[in-house]
Amino acid sequence: ESADITEREKLALRFAERMATDHHSMDDAFFEGLRMEFTDPEIFELGMITGQFIGYGRLISILDLEDPEQPA
């Protein structure tokens, strides 16, 4: 909440966090708030991109492709 980003960006991050951790809590009230800043196509695109990154991260994890010993 204290990051130096716009309210719109903060809302997008809250969307992504809830998609990743508690998507069942995304009720009508949450989407009403989203629609105050985003159009329906933007919400769909945000959901698709977020879902792809969540899925990609999980795939990397289950295939054990994360190597914390490897230098950046």
pLDDT at 71 over 70: no
The share of the chain scoring above pLDDT 70, in percent, equals 92
pLDDT at 1 over 70: no
Mean pLDDT, residues 5-30 taken together = 94
Burial class (CB in 10 A: 0-12, 13-18, 19+), 40: exposed
Contact yes or no for 19/54 (Cβ under 8 A): yes
Mean pLDDT, residues 20-42 taken together = 95
pLDDT value, residue 36: 95
The share of the chain scoring above pLDDT 90, in percent, equals 74
**Looking up tokens 């980003």, which residue turns up?**
5
